Amino acid sequence: MSNDWKTEISSSGEDAVIRGEKLEKVMDMDFSDSIWLLLKGEKPTEEESEIFKAILSGSIDHGVGNPSTVSARTVQSGGNDMNTSVAAGIMALGDSHGGAIEEGMKILQSEKSAEEIVEEYLESGEKIPGLGHKVYSEKDPRTEKILEKADSLGLSGRYVEKMKDIQEAFADEKVRLVMNVDGGIAAVMSDMDWDPELGKGFFIIARTPGLVAHVREEMDRPDFRREDGEYTGEQ
Amino acid sequence: MSNDWKTEISSSGEDAVIRGEKLEKVMDMDFSDSIWLLLKGEKPTEEESEIFKAILSGSIDHGVGNPSTVSARTVQSGGNDMNTSVAAGIMALGDSHGGAIEEGMKILQSEKSAEEIVEEYLESGEKIPGLGHKVYSEKDPRTEKILEKADSLGLSGRYVEKMKDIQEAFADEKVRLVMNVDGGIAAVMSDMDWDPELGKGFFIIARTPGLVAHVREEMDRPDFRREDGEYTGEQ
Amino acid sequence: MSNDWKTEISSSGEDAVIRGEKLEKVMDMDFSDSIWLLLKGEKPTEEESEIFKAILSGSIDHGVGNPSTVSARTVQSGGNDMNTSVAAGIMALGDSHGGAIEEGMKILQSEKSAEEIVEEYLESGEKIPGLGHKVYSEKDPRTEKILEKADSLGLSGRYVEKMKDIQEAFADEKVRLVMNVDGGIAAVMSDMDWDPELGKGFFIIARTPGLVAHVREEMDRPDFRREDGEYTGEQ
Amino acid sequence: MSNDWKTEISSSGEDAVIRGEKLEKVMDMDFSDSIWLLLKGEKPTEEESEIFKAILSGSIDHGVGNPSTVSARTVQSGGNDMNTSVAAGIMALGDSHGGAIEEGMKILQSEKSAEEIVEEYLESGEKIPGLGHKVYSEKDPRTEKILEKADSLGLSGRYVEKMKDIQEAFADEKVRLVMNVDGGIAAVMSDMDWDPELGKGFFIIARTPGLVAHVREEMDRPDFRREDGEYTGEQ
């Protein structure tokens, strides 16, 4: 029953390494390249490095009012430190909040065709991950940017195609929806051979700086966060 | 009592910005530069950019067995998703785990002299943040690297000096201790005019990728993590 | 997009109520009866009250070394307060840790027969919730106690029967397994008409005191919790 | 460096005990009595049992809109399970939210006189824990109830007196404030010889059922919780 804390990721102490690379060497790498090395076990090519930083930087923050900023700031206002408050923000990133990248990678990398995928979602009534946006109806500029970069860097492949096929198949059945940024990221990350199980993980990595910024801002607002509540039960 | 979710950090939607910079422009920035912009409200100089990525990459992971990896992996093994498990790792980063950067920045940026600081810590019996290492006795290679980079980039200033003064003052009173990597980071970040209240924050940002990697690795180990426990109370 | 914090559970202030009952009146109730009222919206009968306190008290703590105590104590040792540390323990209570009550209630309250349930689990290779124990092979004394109490209080019904049928059906197919305490609780709670979605919830309620006790004990152990770790990756 | 998971609290398995009491015997106890045994290491007297259940039941829930319900429900709405969502609620219970019981117990059990305590708080400008209420100006009915019960059960002692002295000393210096329920609980728990370090702990225990109820209610509201946010930074 004794435990077994073994890892292939990194070591500490005098010969500290990250995936076999000496930590001192890692300190000369771009932070996004270190993240790639750490998660994928190898260094990115120059092209992969280029698009990965666009993906991370583009997800770094996105206004206040969404569940993760609200929970992070609310927990801070209860009188808590940075680590506890940021953690509460990350906890909010469940299946419905930032989950479309991971779900998108899963359907793209499945054996199912674009048509089969659309059919399944139409049957279930669920939203197709990667399609639709509440503001953009024609084009999502972030998706455009990621897809253009991927094209010009020679990184677009079968999964970008499959994502477009899903968009077409849905347009044939129902209506044309914009490919949103989650769809673009899911497709490009899949073309770079990333594991779907890390889809939520790199969104968390990208968004943590935003949560740190929001918690820091909240620290300067001394008041306790209290919302108007209403009791609708029996008296 | 109505709430007030205002922020100076970012906006979402069609004109999404990060600290006034259009999100599409931010997507062209290095991830570490975006983090700097987001937290400090302005872009780093080339030199600042250089040292900031060394600091982030150098803290990205550090083996398994420390409280944050243990709690993240243990929570995953209880049958939890990426977001909950990573959050449990970040929660472990309390005052005693990764807290020396923030505490170091606070004492460096205080009005107290190096001698006064050493005296206070000697009286309290607490460890001085930034001094001492369980493995390195002469030099911590990561600190050396950060200080050399800071020197060659012209970023070393009064706080690096003050950290060295603290080291000297402690050597005069007790024993010479190595300046550890937290001490080096605290000094250089202070010389770049960073707010101590963000000290824990950028350690969290730097370490989150490591926690994602550990949680992903744990997912491939199906067993429930159970430690040997012993009851020592009355029967 | 404005929010809507309405609840049928309780109100605060001068006329504070819990499910329509004045808070001052609730203060005269047993704590377990208050929990019942709060979660179910009505007071328990005397018999229900009797068995509910046995269920809660019997789940209050269960040694050290399981994921929830390990994560709670590890987070405390990183230098964290009671609330953050207890939360880390609760987070560990995922699908594989304390989840059998909820899963058991779901299968019991499903339309499927005992035989169909056993067949499905045999096919999937998963463990049947409520059956089997690593120590007890004949009888789990806690299950015995709960079932006897339920019988003598007239609370045993179709779901206790169905749980026994599942045990029989599995014995016919494979081997006789003891009905464990999760199985007993799932059956009795179902016979008292509880919602399976609350199965994990009342385990959390029952176990929180245990986590508070463990975190308090850990506070008296000043050392940082560090496990032996080993790097098995490439050098 | 190997770890040491020893506890005086409980054991698991065939001879499972809670503080030396067999778990099967504990199953015959009131849930609040089990909590007392678990945290204090001995069973309560009949009088202590009586007041303890009033304290726990009286703190079980208190409307929606406070930080702990908002963070629990917001995290659930992000697509999370019961354990993660309840944990987020508990995390919000920091120094400013439910912290007055612990702080009150600390000042009461300190060596300082009522006058010294009032003076210190007046100097610091902080609120005195246990005094003042936004709704009640004359009497807080929950405090009245707890103090009357304590009196009639013979449990009022020096700390209830000291809390009243603090109230008087503050009235002499500034204004008469109502003794709120946190003050009443802090005083009575102190008179029953409870450790201030458990003050936040028993508030967490008492409030966890409320958080479970709120998360369950939120599960029936499918919409993502999004607040109106406004960007006030530079364009």
How much is the pLDDT for D3? Answer: 62
Which DSSP helix (H) or strand (E) runs through C204?
Answer: helix C199-219
What percentage of chain D has pLDDT greater than the value 70? 99
What percentage of chain D has pLDDT greater than the value 90? 88
Measured CB to CB, residues of chain D less than 8 Å from chain B are 3, 5-12, 15, 17, 19-20, 80-81, 83-84, 91, 227-235
The closest CB to that of C233, out of A5, A20, A80, belongs to A20
- What's the whole-model pTM score? 0.97
Chains that touch B (3 or more CB pairs under 8 A): A, C, D
Q: What is the mean pLDDT of chain B?
A: 95
Do A233 and C5 make contact, defined as CB atoms within 8 angstroms? no
How much is the pLDDT for C3? Answer: 63
Mean pLDDT (whole number) for C148-159: 97
Interface test with C, best of D4, D208, D217, D228 (most C CBs within 10 A): D208
Chains that touch A (3 or more CB pairs under 8 A): B, C, D
- CA–CA dist A90, C91 (Å, integer): 13
Q: Has residue A235 got a pLDDT over 90? A: no
CATH code of the domain occupying D63-218: 1.10.230.10
- CA–CA dist B210, C121 (Å, integer): 36
How much is the pLDDT for A137? Answer: 84
Residue range B44-73, pLDDT digits in tens:
999 999 999 999 999 999 999 999 999 999
How much is the pLDDT for D204? Answer: 98
- CA–CA dist D83, C98 (Å, integer): 10
Measured CB to CB, residues of chain B less than 8 Å from chain C are 63-71, 74-75, 77-80, 84, 87-88, 91-97, 99, 224-231
Residue range A158-185, pLDDT digits in tens:
999 999 999 999 999 999 999 999 999 9
Mean pLDDT (whole number) for A14-23: 94
Chains C & D: contacts with CB separation below 8 Å: 256
Do C79 and B70 make contact, defined as CB atoms within 8 angstroms? no
**Strand C6-7 vs strand A230-231: parallel, antiparallel, or unpaired?**
parallel
Q: Has residue D200 got a pLDDT over 50? A: yes
How much is the pLDDT for D1? Answer: 37
With beta carbons under 8 A apart, name residues in chain A contacting B30. Answer: 30-32, 53, 57
- CA–CA dist A146, C43 (Å, integer): 58
Domain ranges (residues) in chain B: 63-218
With beta carbons under 8 A apart, name residues in chain B contacting D11. Answer: 231, 233
How much is the pLDDT for D89? Answer: 98
Give the residue among D26, D105, D61 at the shortest CA–CA distance from D206: D61
Q: Has residue D135 got a pLDDT over 60? A: yes
Residue range D221-232, pLDDT digits in tens:
988 888 889 999
Q: Has residue D67 got a pLDDT over 50? A: yes
- CA–CA dist B187, B190 (Å, integer): 5
| ipTM associated with this complex | 0.96
3-state secondary structure D135-150: CCCCCCHHHHHHHHHH
Q: How many CB atoms neighbour CB C43 within 10 A? A: 15
Q: What is the mean pLDDT of chain C?
A: 95
Tokens of D174: 């500034």
Do C9 and D195 make contact, defined as CB atoms within 8 angstroms? no
Tell me how far CA of residue B34 lies from CA of A43, A66, A186, B56, in angstroms. 21, 20, 21, 13
What is the three-class DSSP state of D228? coil
With beta carbons under 8 A apart, name residues in chain C contacting B99. Answer: 79
Do A200 and B81 make contact, defined as CB atoms within 8 angstroms? yes
How much is the pLDDT for C2? Answer: 44
Give the residue among A101, A100, A166, A181 at the shortest CA–CA distance from A136: A181
Mean pLDDT (whole number) for B181-189: 96
Query: Which stretch of B88-102, C3-17, D173-187 has the lowest confidence by average pLDDT?
Result: C3-17
Mean pLDDT (whole number) for C205-217: 98
Tokens of A114: 């674009």
The closest CB to that of A83, out of B16, B58, B94, belongs to B94
How much is the pLDDT for A2? Answer: 44
Q: Has residue C7 got a pLDDT over 90? A: yes
Confidence of residue D4 (pLDDT cuts 50, 70, 90): confident
Do C6 and A84 make contact, defined as CB atoms within 8 angstroms? no
Residue range A180-220, pLDDT digits in tens:
999 999 999 999 999 999 999 999 999 999 999 999 999 99
Q: Which residue of D has its CA nearest to C180?
A: D13
Residue A50 β-bridge partners: none
How much is the pLDDT for B2? Answer: 44
- CA–CA dist D53, D37 (Å, integer): 13
Q: Which residue of C has its CA nearest to B230?
A: C64
Residue range D8-47, pLDDT digits in tens:
999 998 889 999 999 999 999 999 999 999 999 999 999 9
Q: State the DSSP code for C66.
A: S
How much is the pLDDT for C13? Answer: 85
How much is the pLDDT for A3? Answer: 63
Helix B67-77 to helix C82-91 angle (10° resolution) is: 40
The closest CB to that of B5, out of D3, D230, D233, belongs to D230
Confidence of residue C235 (pLDDT cuts 50, 70, 90): confident
Measured in angstroms, the CA of C43 and the nearest CA of chain B are apart by 33
Q: Has residue C136 got a pLDDT over 90? A: no
Higher pLDDT, B143 or B135: B143
The closest CB to that of B27, out of A66, A136, A145, belongs to A145
Residue range D148-198, pLDDT digits in tens:
999 999 999 999 999 999 999 999 999 999 999 999 999 999 999 999 999
